[in-house]
Every structure is written in structure tokens, then in C-alpha cells.
């Protein structure tokens, strides 16, 4: 389908899982990760208030929208945030994200 994209997730063991997600349902990356049963707490429900959905964008970050103020301020509170850390709840799936590579920031 034309409205499907792939998101690649790097695991600590070096393996990569490809997740397929629709771009026409208004889903966030956090919701996609939860649908694939990744251990994403998302205790704030996607309001950019808890940072438990933080991911590090390893490839394709230039295709993502600029951080909004809420996301920037929440990322800024993380002592171990990286230059490529983003909140998955603030990233709506869109065609520009096809084949990005991410890693969960706090993978267990």
C-alpha cells in the first residue's frame, strides 16, 4: 500500500527489526512501538510530559519535523539525552520517515 512506511529499530544485540506502519491514521511513532509490543511506558499518554518514549534517531533524522517547545523542554530534562534523542509520541508517522533507524533510548 502507498500509505505504509517502514521504521527500523536497532536492538542492543545488534539486530534490526522492521516495523510497518500506516501514514494515514494519525499514529505517532510511540503508538506504533506500543502496537509492536515494545516496552514503551508512555505514562503521560503522548503529551510530551514523561520522556518514557524517548528514542535515538540513528539514521534519517533530517527527515523529521523540528522539535516543538514541549518536546524540546522534556528532552532537555533528560541527563543522558543525545543530540539525536526525540520523543516518539511527538513524531506522527509520515512518508518522510520511511526507513529511518531508531533505537529505544532506555532499552532494557
> Tens of pLDDT along 76-92?
999 999 999 999 999 99
Per residue in 27-72, pLDDT tens? Answer: 999 999 999 999 999 999 999 999 999 999 999 999 999 999 999 9
Please report, for residues 1, 2, 4, 6, the alpha-carbon distance to residue 88 in angstroms, rounded to integers and kept in the order given: 23, 23, 18, 15
CB 63 within 8 A of CB 7: no
Q: Which of these, 27, 29, 26, lies nearest to 102 by C-alpha position? A: 29
Confidence of residue 106 (pLDDT cuts 50, 70, 90): confident
Output the pTM of the full model. Answer: 0.94
Class of 4-101 in CATH:
alpha beta
Domain boundaries, the chain: 4-101
Amino acid at each position: 500500500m502507498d500509505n505504509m512506511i517502514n521504521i527500523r529499530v536497532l536492538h542492543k544485540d545488534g539486530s534490526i527489526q522492521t516495523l510497518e506502519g500506516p501514514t494515514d491514521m494519525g499514529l505517532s511513532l510511540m503508538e506504533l512501538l506500543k502496537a509492536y509490543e515494545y516496552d514503551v511506558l508512555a505514562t503521560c499518554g503522548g503529551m510530551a510530559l514523561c520522556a518514557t518514549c524517548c528514542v535515538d534517531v540513528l539514521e534519517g533524522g533530517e527527515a523529521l519535523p523540528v522539535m516543538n517547545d514541549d518536546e524540546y523542554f522534556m528532552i532537555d530534562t533528560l541527563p543522558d539525552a543525545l543530540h539525536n534523542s526525540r520523543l516518539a509520541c511527538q513524531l506522527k508517522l509520515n512518508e518522510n520517515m520511511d526507513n529511518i533507524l531508531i533505537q529505544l533510548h532506555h532499552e532494557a
